[in-house]
Every structure is written in structure tokens, then in C-alpha cells.
Amino acid sequence: MPVIKYPRIRDPLFYEWDRKAQKCGLRHTVYAVNGDQYTGEWLNNLKQSKGTQIWKSTGAIYSGDWKFGKRDGYGSYSILDPVTKEYKKVYTGWWENDRRGGRGQFFYPNGEHYDGEWSNGVRSGWGKMHYKDGSTYEGQWLSDQPNGMGVLRLPNGNRYEGAWKDGKKHGPGKYFYPGKGQMLESIWVADIAKCGVLVDFGRDNAPASTKSPLPEIGLHDPAGVLAEAQARFDDSQN
């Protein structure tokens, strides 16, 4: 029986051209149509593993980890100062799906900076904020605002320890006046003390203590009054 030979079936040439054009592995600088440039590793035509991206429009630069074409992992983002022509660090830390996510440091243009946790590009979790006036807040954050429990320390030495909501003192908290040797324990609503007890606290060592100690409160159970106020506050939040 004669042997019949059939011609080999080959893919169209454009399939082969496309495979050769796919970027994979370590590449030299690749320029986008808009002028952006990337130097680093690729996988299936997407930025992957380690690489550096420079945006032409802003001069910003990111160097760090990539996953499926997006910043994901640990990396640093900096911008170009238009006056000094030097790079200024904006954020160093962890990224998730092209946004700040995890632990990282952010440096604001006015000199403030935040060191803590992020989620979906905003401050969420536990972190410490350094403000330009010298005050600091350390505690819980949610949706870019102090939420939960935290401590605010002011440049004059005063501090607040307690609950926060939407960036304001809200709930049970204590406000300390070390200079006077006094402490206000109160229930707060939107930064305002609604019900509280002011007592001497370390008055003997205070540099600017009052001439006379505070008189004893004319209540048999000030703690009970605060507990009742706390219960009413909790009811109002439900």
C-alpha cells in the first residue's frame, strides 16, 4: 500500500511573530507609546518580580516588586522636585494591587509623615502620624482617619488617651495636663467633653501646678457617674 504524506500543518506566521514579541524574563528598558519607561523583569508580557518604572509626565519613579503588571510587594515611590531636580521619597513600604497596602512610611509635602499600616491606599490599622506642629497621634486608623483607641501628644506636653471616631475624640478618654498636674476623665462627643471629672494627677511634681489642690468632688461615687454616662453614650451610638 502506498504511503500518503500529508503536509505539516503550521500555525499562521502572525502567531509566531506574536510569541516572539511577548516580553518574558529580564529586559532592558522598554518604552511605552506615551514615553513611560520600564526596566526589569516580565512574565507573559506583564511586569513581574523586580523592576523600575519612570513616568514621563510627572518624572515619578517606582522601584520594587511587581505582580501581573501592577505594583505588588515591597517598593519605593519618589517624585522629582521641579526646583532642585532631585528625587524626594514619597512612600516606602508594601503594596497590594497597585495601591499602598500593608506596612509603610508616607512623607507629605508639608513635612508631615506617617509610619504604619495601609489598606486600599489609605491609612488603616495601627500607625503613628507626625504632624508639622510637633504633635503626634499613635493608635488605630480607619479610612484615613483616627478611629478606635489612640494617643494624641501635643507639643506643650498635654496628651489625650482614649477613643476616637472620624478623626475626633469620641467616647471614653482621659486628657492629661502634666504642667498643671491635672487629669480630665470624660465622655467625649465630636471633640467635646460632655461629662467628666477633673482630678489632681502628679500635682506635686508639676512645674506649673495650681496654688491649691482641687477640692474633693461632692459625689460619693464619681466613677459611677462616669459609668452611667458611658452607658448612656453607648445607648446613643446603637
Better pLDDT: 207 or 153: 153
The whole-number average pLDDT for the span 193-206 is 86
Confidence bin at 201 (pLDDT 50/70/90): confident
Question: Which run of H or E residues covers position 136?
Answer: strand 136-142
Residue at 110 is within a domain: no
The yes-or-no verdict on residue 73 having pLDDT over 70 is yes
Residue at 185 is within a domain: no
The whole-number average pLDDT for the span 195-203 is 87
The whole-number average pLDDT for the span 69-74 is 98
**Calpha distance 95→92 (Å, rounded):** 9
Residue 24 sits at φ, ψ, to 5 deg, of -155, 135
The whole-number average pLDDT for the span 173-195 is 95
Residue 56 sits at φ, ψ, to 5 deg, of -65, -40
The whole-number average pLDDT for the span 50-58 is 96
CA atoms within 13 A on the CB side of 67: 10
Residue at 32 is within a domain: yes
Confidence bin at 70 (pLDDT 50/70/90): very high
Residue at 36 is within a domain: yes
Residue at 227 is within a domain: no
- What long-range pairs does 169-176 form, CB within 8 A, spacing at least 24? 171/233, 172/226, 172/230, 172/233, 176/201
The whole-number average pLDDT for the span 191-220 is 76
CATH of the domain at 20: 2.20.110
Residue at 120 is within a domain: no
Question: How many domains is the chain built from?
Answer: 1
At 23 the pLDDT is 65
Close Cβ partners of 215 (under 8 Å, ≥ 6 residues apart): none
**Calpha distance 152→44 (Å, rounded):** 49
Residue at 230 is within a domain: no
- When the pLDDT of each residue in the chain is averaged and rounded to a whole number, the result is 86
What whole-number percentage of the chain has pLDDT above 90? 66
Picking from 145, 150, 134, 155, the residue whose alpha carbon sits closest to that of residue 188 is 150
The yes-or-no verdict on residue 188 having pLDDT over 60 is yes
Domain, as residue range, for 83: 10-101
The yes-or-no verdict on residue 120 having pLDDT over 50 is yes
SS (H, E, C) 35-62: CCEEEEEEECCEEEEEEEEECCCCCCEE
At 18 the pLDDT is 46
Region class of 59: left (phi > 0), else alpha (psi between -120 and 50), else beta:
left
Q: What is the pTM of this model?
A: 0.80
pLDDT per residue as tens digits for the range 136-151:
999 999 999 999 999 9
Rg of the chain taking only CA atoms, in angstroms: 29
At 14 the pLDDT is 42
Residue at 238 is within a domain: no
